[in-house]
Structures are given as structure tokens and as C-alpha cells.
Amino acid sequence: LFSNLIVSRSGFALPLHTPLTVCALVSGAALLWTPSETNGLSLLAVQGAGGLGVLILALTHFALEPGALVGLLGGVLLVAGALGRYQSSAPGGAAR
């Protein structure tokens, strides 16, 4: 049934690859620093902006394909992680 299916290009050939990778790397790089009272809000902004970038790019190019679904899931997890990390490091947070 699928023997004649030929994939002509991969996701790396799309112009979406570079901004998606940059947003994910920026969001992930924010995890290198431990949030404190002085830099917690800055780290939330950097990690949240990267996560929102991934989420928006995945939503604007949505398709029922594995790469698009993984990008969407990754964006949701990056944003949720940023919010959860900020809440746990905020003054009066559950875990310090």
C-alpha cells in the first residue's frame, strides 16, 4: 500500500527548522541557572518566551504528522515548565 510513497524532503529542509531550534535552545539554556529572587523573573521571561515561540511556530504549521505533534507537545511542556519553575522559586512557593 505504501510502497510507492516517496518522502521528498525532511523537516530539516524547511525554513521553520532554524527558528524552532533557536527558541528551544534559548528556553533550554535558561535551565542552566538556578532561579533566585533576583533573577527568577528574568529566567521565567527567557524560558517562557522560548517555549511560547516553539508553541506558536508549531501551531501555525500544525499538521497531523509526528514532527508537528512533537513540536506542539514540546512547546506546551516548555511553557508549563517555565511557569512551574517560577512558581516553585517565587517567594512563598511550595518548594525552594
Query: In this predicted model, what pLDDT tens digit does every residue of 53-75 receive, in sequence order?
Result: 999 988 887 777 777 788 889 99
Instruction: Please choose, from the candidates 81, 75, 48, 78, the residue with its C-alpha nearest in 3D space to the C-alpha of residue 62.
Output: 75
Which residues 6+ apart lie within 8 Å of 34 measured at CB? none
| pTM (predicted TM-score) | 0.72
Cβ(54)–Cβ(78) below 8 Å: yes
In this predicted structure, what is the pLDDT of residue 65? 76
**CA-CA distance, 46 to 77, in Å (whole number)?**
15
Write down the mean pLDDT value for the chain.
80
